[in-house]
Structure 1
Amino acid sequence: MTDARRTELADFLRTRRERLTPDDVGLPSGGRRRTPGLRREEVALLAGVGVTWYTWLEQGRDINASVQVLEAIARTLRMDGQERWHLFQLAGVTVVAPSAPCPGVSPADQAVLDQLDPFPAAVLSRRYEILAYNRAYNGLAGDLDAVAPGERNQLWLFFTHPYWLDLCIGNRAEAAAHLVGTMRAGMAEHLDDPLWTGLVRRLREASAEFDGLWRRHDVVDHPMPAKDFRSPAGDLHLQLVRFTAGQLPGGARMMVYTPRDDVTRVRLEQLVRAEPAQRLHAV
């Protein structure tokens, strides 16, 4: 990367950071600030990267950024599709379909999710990024608010997060194979896209379970509607309903879990009551 490109990248990140406030990203303001916008350490925290590394990036130093890290920074700084594409171009990373919008949901979409409580509901991208969720889903997922935005990916959490490794009741092997099979089927259109290939490479390095399933080359195009999960409120027996709509970004879909029995319905209500009323849901 040339000096001019590094300088342009640094200035672009700084201006995107300075336009946001702590309230925009669900952080306490911490009193008066000498400079506008978020602090560098706040961006680093939300994106799940080191403070020193992010500072160097904003200073235009000669360092490399992976696709996953750039994606996390783009989400943290609330970049739209054009800004995200510009970020990747400045960083010297080629991505497919530059016109594709950066995943995100509207306030109206979030309002729909919130109204669905106590039924767990979330919006997922085609790469299984969890773009938004309601209180019930947050309780079921083991507190996504505590997970860095760049790590809020259903595949990544399912195969690497301690809570999610023990989330399924009885049918984890079947659920794991189904997830990997649908990911492989969806990736057929994105074999040259580093956002997809990078996620798969990262998963194969982090999880022997995922790597073994990926090597099988199985593809799946049918749903797995029945879901059984452990939760703080007790075991949940759920039915998955999936919605797609033109308003959702980039082929995203809304996933809604409804109870298969009355006991589960009561436990879902308990799960929601245990969750704080106000949260920052969207990624």
Structure 2
Amino acid sequence: MPLDFGNHLGTFLRDRRARLDPATFGFVPGRRRTPGLRREEVAQRANISPTWYTWLEQGRGGAPSADVLNRLATGLMLTEPEREHMFILALGHPPEPRYREPEGITPRLQRVLDAMPTSPAILRTATWEVVAWNRAAAALLTDYSKLPREKRNILRLMFSDQRVRAAQEDWLRVAQFVVAAFRADAARAGATAEITQLVEELSRTSPEFEALWRNNDIASHGDGLKRLHHPMLGPIELEFSTFAVEGRPDLTLMIYNPSTAETTEAVRKLVESGTPG
């Protein structure tokens, strides 16, 4: 098949179509001139007309709608990166975010956290649920293993846990920042229903959260300084940074590095002692 450098979407669709086994989808293999599904079979799986699908492969008929592209992603069994790539080829931009409940983390990701013995590190979702942490985080921040799963949410801890509140050097400033960054993260992830549920819950239980939420502030949670009053170490300062997790758009990695060599050594001894935060 000759290369088509002008119709990138059509080339992509033909390539993915050729990779699918007809028998897997209940289509009789029969005698086929080319491997993979026929155009009409892809159209059937995507619930669009065979003519319209043929035009898409041929670069005719204009840009498809997001709905058609999502149907094609389902029909062609595209992975999430493939779906995003198809949207960029067809429309020039990624698809609108659609939030999905986070899956568990892999042992490899947990080992990444565990490789930082003196730097508290956590993995959180777009709705700020903490799904993984290392020993330093348990010792210095919160021992999430002792909390029920539904309580492992940074906003719930910030507005309902007196121990977490007392540990902040300036609780109101931190709370303002957390609410503003949470609003940006959750909206970017398309987690509308999940936001609504959590916001309604926190607004009922915390007038302070309700007031901050009504401010409609937006912030980026990229990096900065975090000052804590630890019950055993006293005042400490941590430099925090946040990172996207490649291949896991539902997760954000947060790392807190002690700002001085003395703090690093103090954290190391605390972690080795097994004393929780």
What TM-score, normalized by structure 2, do the two folds share?
0.59
RMSD of aligned Cα (Å): 2.5
Which structure has the higher relative contact order (CA within 8 Å, separation 6+)?
Answer: 1
Moved over 6 A (4+): 96-99
Does 1:186 pair with 2:185? yes
1 CA distance for matches of 2:250 and 2:189? 13
Greater share of strand residues, 1 or 2? 2
Query: 2:176 matched to which residue of 1?
Result: 177
Amino-acid identity (%)? 26
1 CA distance for matches of 2:214 and 2:265? 41
Query: 2:53 matched to which residue of 1?
Result: none
Q: Relative to structure 1, is the Cα distance of residues 272 and 221 closer, same or farther in structure 2, using a 3 angstrom cutoff?
A: same
Query: 2:18 matched to which residue of 1?
Result: none
Structure 1 segments unaligned to the other structure (5+ residues) = 1-95, 278-283
Q: Relative to structure 1, is the Cα distance of residues 178 and 98 closer, same or farther in structure 2, using a 3 angstrom cutoff?
A: closer
Query: 2:274 matched to which residue of 1?
Result: 275
**Higher alpha-carbon Rg:** 2
Contact kept, 8 Å, 1:235 with 1:264, in 2: the verdict is no
Query: 2:120 matched to which residue of 1?
Result: 120
Query: 1:136 matched to which residue of 2?
Result: 136
Does 1:251 pair with 2:250? yes
Equivalenced residues, count? 180
Q: After superposition, what is the alpha-carbon deviation per residue over 1:165-204, rounded to whole angstroms, capped at 9, x for unaligned?
A: 11212x3222111111112223435677322211111111
Contact kept, 8 Å, 2:127 with 2:191, in 1: the verdict is no
1 CA distance for matches of 2:185 and 2:256? 22
Name the amino acid aligned to 2:146: A
Structure 2 segments unaligned to the other structure (5+ residues) = 1-95
Deviation at 1:106, TM superposition (A): 0.6
Q: 1:268 aligns to what SS in structure 2?
A: helix
Contact kept, 8 Å, 1:101 with 1:250, in 2: the verdict is no
Q: After superposition, what is the alpha-carbon deviation per residue over 1:99-158, rounded to whole angstroms, capped at 9, x for unaligned?
A: 835332110000110111111011011111101000110112232221101110111111
2 CA distance for matches of 1:267 and 1:239? 15
Deviation at 1:246, TM superposition (A): 1.5
Q: After superposition, what is the alpha-carbon deviation per residue over 1:19-78, rounded to whole angstroms, capped at 9, x for unaligned?
A: xxxxxxxxxxxxxxxxxxxxxxxxxxxxxxxxxxxxxxxxxxxxxxxxxxxxxxxxxxxx
Contact kept, 8 Å, 1:191 with 1:197, in 2: the verdict is no
Q: 2:234 aligns to what SS in structure 1?
A: coil
Q: Relative to structure 1, is the Cα distance of residues 117 and 201 closer, same or farther in structure 2, using a 3 angstrom cutoff?
A: same
Q: Relative to structure 1, is the Cα distance of residues 216 and 256 closer, same or farther in structure 2, using a 3 angstrom cutoff?
A: same
Does 1:197 pair with 2:196? yes
